[in-house]
Amino acid sequence: MTLRLYDTRAQQLRDFVPLDPENITMYVCGPTVQSGPHIGHVRAALSFDLLRRWLTHRYGRVTFVRNVTDIDDKVLANATDAEPWWALAYRMEQEFTAAYAGIGILAPTYEPRATACVPQMQEMIQTLLERGHAYPAPDGSGDVYFDVRSWADYGSLTNQSVDAMEAAEDADPRGKRNPQDFALWKGAKPDEQADATWQSPWGAGRPGWHIECSAMSKRYLGAEFDIHGGGLDLRFPHHENELAQSTAAGDGFARYWVHNGLVTVGGQKMSKSLGNFTLAREVLAEHDPLVVRYALAAAHYRSSLDLSESSWTEAEAALGRIRTFIERALRVLPKTFGWAEKTPLPVPFVAAMDDDLGIPQALGVVHETVRAGNAALDAGDSESAMAAWHEVRAMLDVLGLDVTRAASGGDAQASALDALVQTMITQRAQARADKDWAAADRIRDAIAAAGITLEDSPAGTHWSIDG
């Protein structure tokens, strides 16, 4: 089978052919850390975590870079006398890291901060000036702009003509030749924090947003790399401008462009500017992190995801069905059946993942395998049940949904609850043996009132939490 990804630039599915099959290279636009993450940020990061995990499964090694934009207009605007911009940026970066880790998103191979790569940005700006694709503002303000009309391919990512584009609003237009020209370097302004500037050949100032990602991706992945990822809302102007300045500087840049769909609220994009966002920390405080991961992964990564309370309820129920099978298998199957190190993934699962990361279809295979495993357990077919258990575990491992560890290990609270319930089960069994039906019924009713279901079988009585 061949992995196919939807390339936004080509506007079609393409067979994925890496530059180096021994090392897949991938750059994803990370957060601008002016405030804490909302659930849309987490969904975006999860989309590329899933892609990275699948690429790792397919190829073995993935060099994954996700940047942190820690110097930006919004960061400076949200700073206060009590908390300087650099302190705010670091604190918010920690919040993003905690939210990502909370749902099992793997840490990047490299996570550069923009402020650590300013020399590389200045070097690229100098190259663009020498090639005739950039110019300094004639008023001596220190601004440097990219000349969009000097680059014939400008607009190729989003299939737009320059004349149809809105004016770039990322910098003061005081020295622009064209309204669409965008800032590569922003001259220092008297009302901005003095420590938010760097010296440059064009005067004190700071980098524009777009040049940051071009310089960081080149520093960590080289002039050409396999995949550039980010949210659909970044296609224009951010990714369009990245592509233009990097290729105008002579770099091959990204060979595939992959964009995730947005989280919406009532059909409207979730964003801080609109005030319709839900903070990630609030969601994670209210829901099991695995439930959050499942709910955010259950829709195809390119589709919009309209979240509601039912999203979490449905995800919890789906995970509950998987957990129940895992627990049944661990109880009923021989204790010596072990943990298979290399279980082949089901062919339909692989086909779904290779078809532009079809997570919804892949989850369908997981649930089909769970149903088959339960049927095998009901029929006493241990061999088929074992095979299903191993396949489910292998698929969950690829998806980062490690319910098997929870089922086989548990934590202190789960162990304590199990001990209490097992005691009540023993007391109920003794009451039934003594034909004290009233006592047996009282114990059964008490267990049921706590939301616990008992399953009587020839192998004994087992319990699970309703849901």
pLDDT at position 39, please? 92
Which of the listed residues 363, 388, 408 is the one where a domain comes to its end? 408
Q: Do residues 423 and 372 share a domain?
A: no
pLDDT at position 87, please? 97
How many Å apart are CA 191 and CA 82, to the nearest integer? 17
Q: Do residues 193 and 322 share a domain?
A: no
CA distances in angstroms from 173 to 77, 134, 418, listed in the order given: 19, 15, 67
CA distances in angstroms from 7 to 14, 18, 345, 461, listed in the order given: 6, 14, 26, 53
Number of domains composing the chain: 3
The CATH number of the domain where 276 resides is what?
3.40.50.620
Q: Do residues 267 and 353 share a domain?
A: no
How many Å apart are CA 434 and CA 437, to the nearest integer? 8
End-to-end CA gap in the chain:
38
The CATH number of the domain where 346 resides is what?
1.20.120.640
User: pLDDT per residue over 337-394, tens digit each?
Assistant: 555 567 899 999 999 999 999 999 999 999 999 999 999 999 999 999 999 999 999 9
How many Å apart are CA 380 and CA 133, to the nearest integer? 72
Alpha helices in 146-272 (DSSP H): 209-221, 240-248
Enter the tokens of residue 371.
């149903």
Which of the listed residues 381, 408, 435 is the one where a domain comes to its end? 408
How many Å apart are CA 291 and CA 297, to the nearest integer? 10
Q: Do residues 341 and 387 share a domain?
A: yes
Q: Do residues 135 and 166 share a domain?
A: yes
- 305 contacts 269 by C-beta, under 8 angstroms: no
Q: What is the mean pLDDT of residues 264-275?
A: 67
User: pLDDT per residue over 415-461, tens digit each?
Assistant: 456 556 766 787 787 778 778 888 888 888 888 877 788 777 554 57
Q: Is residue 295 part of a domain?
A: no
Q: Do residues 17 and 65 share a domain?
A: yes
User: pLDDT per residue over 46-77, tens digit each?
Assistant: 999 999 999 999 999 999 999 999 999 999 99
- 463 contacts 425 by C-beta, under 8 angstroms: yes
**What residues does 257 pair with on adjacent strands?**
228
For residue 406, pLDDT beyond 70: no
Q: What is the mean pLDDT of residues 90-111?
A: 96
Q: Which residue has the tokens 């694709």?
A: 133
Q: Do residues 121 and 53 share a domain?
A: yes
Q: Do residues 230 and 366 share a domain?
A: no
Q: Do residues 366 and 421 share a domain?
A: no
Which of the listed residues 282, 300, 323 is the one where a domain comes to its end? 282
In 10 A of CB 243, how many CB atoms? 26
How many Å apart are CA 109 and CA 64, to the nearest integer? 5
Q: Is residue 292 part of a domain?
A: no
Q: Do residues 236 and 325 share a domain?
A: no
For residue 319, pLDDT beyond 90: yes
User: pLDDT per residue over 1-36, tens digit each?
Assistant: 799 999 999 999 999 999 999 999 999 999 999 999
CA distances in angstroms from 35 to 29, 41, 74, 96, 359, listed in the order given: 16, 12, 9, 9, 30
Sign, Cα dihedral of 264, 265, 267, 269: negative
Least confident segment among 261-265, 403-407, 420-424: 403-407
Q: Do residues 39 and 124 share a domain?
A: yes
User: pLDDT per residue over 178-226, tens digit each?
Assistant: 999 999 999 998 888 889 999 999 999 999 999 999 999 999 999 999 9
pLDDT at position 411, please? 47
Q: Which residues constitute the domain of residue 31? A: 4-282
In 10 A of CB 225, how many CB atoms? 25
Q: Is residue 300 part of a domain?
A: no
Q: Which of 242, 238, 308, 241 is nearest to 270 (CA)?
A: 308
Q: Do residues 402 and 460 share a domain?
A: no
Specify the 3-state DSSP secondary structure of 187: strand
